[in-house]
Structure formats: C-alpha cells, structure tokens
C-alpha cells in the first residue's frame, strides 16, 4: 500500500536541498511534491493537475490540490497556511520499502512541528476549520499526527510506531468506522551523575631563611722571650742540663659551627569523599486523551449496539 510522507520546512532553500537528496537516494521525481511561497512547485505524476490559472490565492490552490489528491482537508489547510507564511512543503509518495529511507532524509533540523505552528497561528487569529478526513482510496497519508507512516508533527518516530500506524491507517480508511486513538503518557524517572566541581590539593616545597646564635671557643699559642735575673740566672750556670736539647709543642684548637637538619611532621591534610542519600520529589505532567460522547439521538428510539471483536 502506497504511503504519503509530508513535512513542512522553514525555508525554500532547505526544502530544495531535501528534494535533491531524495532524488539522489533513488526516489522517483514523479513521487515528490513540493510547494513553496515563491511559487517553485513540483507536483506528483498521475495526480490531479495543479491549476495555476484558477481563481484564488496560491495557498488556496495548494490546499485544493492536496485535498483533491487524498490529503485530509485539515492537514491540507494547515500545510497551505504554512506555505502562505513563507515555509515550504514536501510530500513524498513512497512504497513500503521506501518509507524508512524517506523518513531518514526528511528528518532534518529545519523540519517544523506542525502542531506547534498551528498553535502559534491560532494565537495570531488564524482559524482552522475542521472538515473531517478525505477518502484516501488505497493511499495512507502521513501528516501531523493524523494517519499513516513517517513524520508526524515535524519529527520522526521509531519504526515500531510506523508499523502500528499503517494498521491504523487501514482502519481509518473503512467506509463506516471513524477511530479516535486514546493515548496516555507514563512518567519514567531515571538517574544520571552530574559534576559539581572538583577539589584539587597539591603540595610544594618552599624555603625561608633562619638564624641561630652559637658560642665558639678559639685557642691561640703565643711565644714570648724574656730575660732571667737574680739567683735563677746564677744558679743555672753550673747546671749540667742547661745544654740538653729540648722540644716543646703546643697545638692551637678552635670550635666551628656544624649545621644539621631534621624533618618532622607537624600536620596532616586528609582528603575524604562522603556520599549521602537524599530523596527528591519530581513533579511533572502527563497527558491523557479523554473522550466525551454527546449522544443527541432521540430518547424514544431504542437502539442495539454490537461490537466487532476482530477489530
């Protein structure tokens, strides 16, 4: 079953670059539709023609072309409004084996989120008329979260959701059933480590001058010659030892300062890391689809409902 992947880009140049990349990847030119505000348009092969000569504005003709060729009217109107505001629309018709390739190429930083854009436009006074969903025949159309496969709201989804959506698209194409998906978000809270900075301790050696006083003793030897007088002089004449050879030695000694150093520990620096546990309450919001049924049928009519368990 053929699928249509649609995406709104912020600029014409970015969209033109994506079109070239699609063609280089093997996507046929006839499967690529492009509409820009500047009028650089490209339409699908075998689809209803884009009537440039028809009355109305350019974006009205864009909306009419998309609706005529199977795009839901609400999405066609939103895309046409995006083209009017200077954006560029790319819509690619692709087979099942081409969907992943097209989605990977269209997943670009300049892709616009259609839901966010519509919210912004409504705040400026733009009116989006809900006109239901057009008959798609055998084609599933991907557009801002309505049907099909591929990009939704300007971003990509995982491959599992693509398969689920293709089943949903076939259900939506039924002649009698209109399906509203009921979705609910779940809040998952995980943990990750973050850095709050680090403590670094470095040691280095410095020098400072010191002074100490010490008392030192120093010896000196002096030689003195003096005359001898009196009896000592006379008595020594007859002394036979006067002519004996003698030798006297006396050593001078002195003290000098000797320096030695001793290292001792005066303080310790201890680095320690402690871990504490704390409980933090995470507050956020989750979305849930609420369905309200307004039954305006006459109270006097009895109706019997059946449920198709195969759906």
Expressed as residue numbers, the domain containing 37 is 3-172
At 132-145, the pLDDT tens digits run 333 333 334 443 33
Mean pLDDT for all residues in the chain = 76
Residue 144 placed within a domain? yes
Tokens of 65: 């072309």
At 127-186, the pLDDT tens digits run 765 433 333 333 344 433 333 333 433 443 343 344 344 434 444 444 567 888 888 888
pLDDT category at 304 given cuts 50, 70, 90 is: very low
Residue 271 placed within a domain? no
Segment 24-53 shows an average pLDDT of: 81
Residue 246 placed within a domain? no
Residue 56 placed within a domain? yes
Instruction: Look at residue 77 and tell me whether its pLDDT is greater than 80.
Output: yes
Instruction: Look at residue 117 and tell me whether its pLDDT is greater than 60.
Output: yes
Residue 69 placed within a domain? yes
Residue 167 placed within a domain? yes
Cβ burial of 297 (10 Å; 0-12, 13-18, 19+) is exposed
Q: Do residues 155 and 107 touch, judged by C-beta distance below 8 A? A: yes
pLDDT value for 256: 92
Q: How many CB atoms lie within 10 A of CB 173?
A: 18
Residue 22 placed within a domain? yes
Domain count of the fold of the chain = 1
Segment 60-66 shows an average pLDDT of: 85
Residue 203 placed within a domain? no
């Amino acid at each position: 079953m053929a699928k249509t992947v649609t995406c709104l880009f912020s600029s014409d140049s970015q969209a033109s670059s994506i079109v070239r990349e699609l063609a280089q990847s093997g996507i046929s030119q006839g499967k690529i539709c492009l509409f820009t505000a500047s009028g650089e348009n490209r339409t699908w092969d075998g689809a209803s023609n884009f009537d440039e000569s028809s009355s109305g504005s350019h974006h009205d003709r864009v909306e009419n072309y998309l609706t005529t060729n199977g795009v839901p009217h609400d999405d066609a109107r939103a895309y046409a409004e995006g083209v009017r505001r200077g954006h560029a629309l790319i819509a690619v018709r692709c087979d099942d084996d081409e969907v992943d390739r097209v989605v990977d190429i269209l997943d670009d930083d300049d892709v616009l989120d259609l839901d966010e854009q519509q919210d912004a436009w409504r705040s400026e006074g733009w009116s989006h008329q809900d006109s239901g969903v057009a008959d798609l025949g055998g084609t599933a159309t991907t557009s801002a979260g309505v049907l099909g496969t591929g990009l939704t709201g300007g971003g990509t989804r995982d491959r599992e959701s693509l398969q689920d959506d293709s089943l949903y698209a076939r259900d939506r194409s039924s002649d009698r059933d209109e399906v509203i998906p009921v979705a609910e978000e779940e809040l998952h809270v995980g943990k990750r480590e973050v850095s709050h900075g680090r403590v670094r301790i470095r040691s280095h050696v410095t020098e400072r001058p010191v002074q100490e006083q010490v008392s030192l003793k120093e010896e000196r030897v002096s030689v003195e010659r003096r005359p001898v007088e009196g009896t000592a002089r006379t008595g020594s004449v007859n002394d036979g030892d006067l002519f004996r050879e003698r030798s006297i030695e006396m050593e001078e000694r002195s003290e000098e300062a000797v320096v030695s150093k001793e290292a001792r520990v005066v303080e310790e620096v201890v680095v320690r890391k402690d871990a504490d546990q704390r409980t933090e309450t995470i507050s956020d919001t989750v979305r849930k689809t609420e369905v309200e049924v307004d039954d305006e049928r006459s109270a006097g009519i009895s109706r019997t409902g059946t449920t198709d368990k195969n759906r």
